[in-house]
A and B are shown apart, each in its own frame.
Chain A
Amino acid sequence: MPQPLRAPLVVEFPFTRSLGPVQSAFLTGLRERTVLGVRTADGRILVPPVEYDPVTADELRELAEVAATGTVTTWAWNPAPRRGQPLATPFAWVLVRLDGADTALLHALDAPGPGAVRTGLRVTVRWAAERTGSITDIACFEPYEGESDPYEGEPDPYERERVPYEHEHEPRPRTAGGHDGRFDDPVTGIVAPARLDYDYSPGRAQSRYLHALAERRTVGERCPSCRKVYVPPRGACPTCGVATAEQIEVGPRGTVTTYCVVNIKAKNLDIAVPYVYAHIALDGADLALHARIGGIPYDQVRMGLRVEPVWTASSRYPDHYRPSGEPDADYEVYKELL
């Protein structure tokens, strides 16, 4: 049999996502070089903040600023950065508990090598030059030579909110900041591009079908059990659940079994609307395939119309089908193929 076909395939979506009040405040804060957490009922501060308590499911709305410095809680050395990751040179993935926070944030740490990284390392945010309200407004973390976590070793975080400074007689601030999460111009949504690259292979049956099409032949496959001929073949008979292997050339002519009129132009498709897209039962096939109908005004296409494929010079498949000039097929002939 011929070699299975392979071809590159890119699947790409720009997901547009709206942000709730908590995520909006956090990402807007990053734009303004401020890190915000959210306070739980028991006084813990979650960074990055979530809308619902992961333990109690309570709704969380009270934002609290934490420091841009923190401590690595675990790390992983990445010697070969992949597309889309925060740094293009080798770096460490880190979970960082920012000073004032009780949970850790995932990000990248710019470090010269794994020997320069350890759990407990003090780090600080390196802000991106251009910030839009996104987790990537933190370009990465970098090692920080400053003081250790001022809250290290302190008791219950809820308690420490209320322990006054001995010499100041006022509530000890959780962090240097104190931003409440309200912004004049909050970010309300993000666009999250997702791209995945594949080296796609369609398998045996469809490779056979596509190889034949390249020779301008349409070849279906017959079910060994019910004897139906499937075009295009997918390798199995959906009624019997067995493999199809016997190849049967069908067409080239066929009958329009049903159709629709397309009135909206698809993006990147250079076909004038309105046009007709039809189910076509090729002669000898027991399943209709679908294709565009051309060479006839759209409002004259009808069920039973006899058609033939139109090939273009460089194409591996029919560009469209056009009327063959034969009399229309009788409904009784194709009614099982609708």
Chain B
Amino acid sequence: MTRYARDVAIIAFAQTDHQRRSDELSEVEMVMPVLHQVLRRTGLRTGDIGFTCSGSSDYLAGRAFSFTMALDGVGAWPPISESHVEMDGAWALYEAWVKILTGAADTALVYAYGKSSPGEVRDVLSRQLDPYYTAPLWPDSVALAALQAQALIDAGHTDERELAAIGARSRADAAANPYAQLAGAVPRGDMVVGPLHRGDCPPIGDGAAAVLLAAGDRARELCERPAWIRGMDHRIEAHGLGVRDLTDSPSTRLAAERAGAFERPVDTAELHAPFTSQEVVLRRSLDLDSRVRVNPSGGALSANPVMAAGLIRLGEAAALIHRGESDRALAHATSGPCLQQNLVAVLEGDSHG
């Protein structure tokens, strides 16, 4: 029983080894291998794909129209049905899912990439802020996250010790993730913008990810245990930081409600929390208790290719279901400062036997 017109599943997921620099690779050279991997896993060819959608931002690497060049890696000529969002690839996945729900496609290829190494990602992200009152002050991404972290500490929702423990747990879990950039015992490091230390912040790096979606029987043909999208929704909050209660994420909660996340417990949650403090906000907003595995992949604290890290949360959650290691998982993606916009998806595998 589904709330939507069609059953749609994530049937394949691939990601790059995320690295601090990738000077030897252009965007298309970075993306192409993961596109080929998801196609190979399902036996599909480019010509079989009904819709292609990507997420990226040219400001990261400073390369104008990099997303059109990345399309070369798909084999987009003669013209294919495709689209692009200047957002995290999780929103590209959302668009592709809607496209399939409308019946306009039965399969979709979704990919995302981020090459932060050529620029200063902390400054680049400040350019997405309100241009009248905020952007002229050049508040960087760590500064804004730190304001949220201090608000959480002041409200008694966390302390620096708990934040350090979230970082440590994430990097310890990432030791089992061969694609992670930062894994194992990582020192908390110096203060970057207080109260956040180096260890509370995501690594800066380059990477890409790809996902294949398919509907109904097509998904069952192509994947042994599809990760069915039982619900998905995304919501946004006011852009004014001083208007929001930074200790809460009502947009995440509403998206989760609309995605059906609270109807039955999930066993796993992949949360897109680039900063340790943001995991605290998300756990509270999603009512996740200690029975839920959070970010077994290590999360964005272990690899944060900007514009791909949210899509990777959906991919990691789906991969657990593909492997039979989860039956019902929540995947979350975020965009904007201090968890401004949030997407929540609920994925399920069919019962065994």
Residues of A within 8 A of B (CB): 4, 6, 9, 11, 15, 17, 19, 23, 26-27, 46-48, 50, 54-55, 73-79, 82-86, 93, 95, 97, 103-108, 114, 119, 134-136, 190, 192, 194, 196-207, 234-243
Assess whether B133 is in contact with A106, with CB atoms less than 8 Å apart: yes
In angstroms, how far is the closest chain A Cβ from the Cβ of B199? 16
Q: Known interface pairs A119-B154, A241-B72. Does A77 touch B63 (Cβ–Cβ under 8 Å)?
A: no
In angstroms, how far is the closest chain B Cβ from the Cβ of A211? 13
Q: Which of A47, A106, A114: most chain B Cβ within 10 A?
A: A106
A-B contact pairs, 23 of them (CB 8 A): A23-B132, A46-B240, A74-B154, A76-B143, A76-B149, A78-B143, A93-B143, A95-B242, A108-B137, A190-B136, A197-B119, A197-B120, A199-B118, A200-B118, A201-B118, A234-B26, A235-B73, A236-B28, A236-B72, A236-B73, A239-B77, A239-B78, A241-B75
Assess whether B72 is in contact with A196, with CB atoms less than 8 Å apart: no
Assess whether B59 is in contact with A203, with CB atoms less than 8 Å apart: no
Q: Known interface pairs A136-B136, A200-B118. Does A79 touch B191 (Cβ–Cβ under 8 Å)?
A: yes
- State which residues 164-217 of B face A: CB under 8 Å: 191, 193-196
Q: Known interface pairs A74-B147, A93-B147. Does A206 touch B137 (Cβ–Cβ under 8 Å)?
A: no
Assess whether B26 is in contact with A205, with CB atoms less than 8 Å apart: yes
How many angstroms from the CA of A199 to the CA of B140 in the assembled complex?
Answer: 19
Residues of A within 8 A of B127 (CB): 194, 196
Contact with A along B6-34 (1 / 0, CB 8 A): 00000000000000000111111100100
CB of B76 closer than 8 Å to a CB of A: yes
In angstroms, how far is the closest chain A Cβ from the Cβ of B143? 5
In angstroms, how far is the closest chain A Cβ from the Cβ of B309? 20
Residues of A within 8 A of B154 (CB): 74, 119
How many angstroms from the CA of A246 to the CA of B41 in the assembled complex?
Answer: 27
In angstroms, how far is the closest chain B Cβ from the Cβ of A314? 25
Residues of A within 8 A of B61 (CB): 198, 200
How many angstroms from the CA of A243 to the CA of B196 in the assembled complex?
Answer: 42
Contact with A along B116-127 (1 / 0, CB 8 A): 001110111001
Q: Which of B61, B63, B127, B243: most chain A Cβ within 10 A?
A: B243
Residues of A within 8 A of B147 (CB): 74-76, 93, 95, 106
CB of B150 closer than 8 Å to a CB of A: yes
Assess whether B120 is in contact with A196, with CB atoms less than 8 Å apart: yes
Residues of B within 8 A of A135 (CB): 132-134, 136-137
Assess whether A236 is in contact with B32, with CB atoms less than 8 Å apart: yes
Q: Which of B75, B131, B149 contacts A240 (CB 8 A)?
A: B75
Q: Known interface pairs A103-B240, A135-B133. Does A241 touch B26 (Cβ–Cβ under 8 Å)?
A: no
6 interchain residue pairs of minimum CB distance? A241-B75, A203-B26, A104-B242, A76-B146, A77-B194, A84-B138
Residues of B within 8 A of A199 (CB): 118-119
Residues of A within 8 A of B63 (CB): 200
CB of B288 closer than 8 Å to a CB of A: no
